[in-house]
Amino acid sequence: MTSNDATRPQQLVPMLHVVDVQASARFYEALGFGIQRRWAPEGASEPTWISLPSKGAHLMLAKASAAVVPDQQAALFYLYVGDVPAAHQMADVAGLAPGRTEHQPHSPAGEFRVSDPSGYALIVRAALGWDRSAS
């Protein structure tokens, strides 16, 4: 069976299991995500799931059932922005402790690293300008 437009994925939305859903949501809001939906079990005072969209990016957060061990995370998350220095300043002003901006051959406009409250690593770098509709 070959894929066609109706069967090709339209979007990939990662869901991170986090220690504190509210703290993680605040962290991602400081990076420019907005809260679209939240869910809490009946009688719970805090949500156990939150959906956070931002333009072409989307993320879901869910309450982890056990401690999150940052060194065992097998994924890095790349956030592509239009202005790396402005994003770095925004993250710094928000108290997110971004690492210093580095300029590598694969990222001449610069990139920096920041970790969320559960220890997930995010690399913030300049948008590639790639054609997302390509195969």
Label the pairing between strands 37-39 and 49-54: antiparallel
In the predicted model, what is the mean pLDDT of residues 50-64? Answer: 93
* CA gap 62, 58 in Å, rounded: 14
Residue 73: pLDDT above 80?
A: no
Q: 135 vs 107, which has greater pLDDT? A: 107
Buried/exposed 21-55: b ≥16 CB within 10 Å, e otherwise: beebbebbeebebeeeebeeeeeeeebeebbbbee
d(CA 8, CA 120): 28
What are the pLDDT digits (tens) for 16-26? 999 999 999 99
Using pLDDT thresholds of 50, 70 and 90, give the confidence band for residue 135.
Answer: very low
0.75 cut: is pTM over it? yes
Q: 39 - beta bridge partners?
A: 49
Average pLDDT for residues 23-32, to the nearest whole number?
95
pLDDT for 76-130, tens place per residue?
888 999 899 999 999 999 999 999 999 988 888 899 999 999 888 899 998 875 4
The residue that leads in pLDDT, 129 or 41, is: 41
Q: What is the pLDDT of residue 2?
A: 62
CATH code for the domain defined by 15-126: 3.10.180.10
Asked whether 112 and 100 are in contact (CB, 8 A), the reply is yes
* pLDDT surpasses 50 at 38: yes
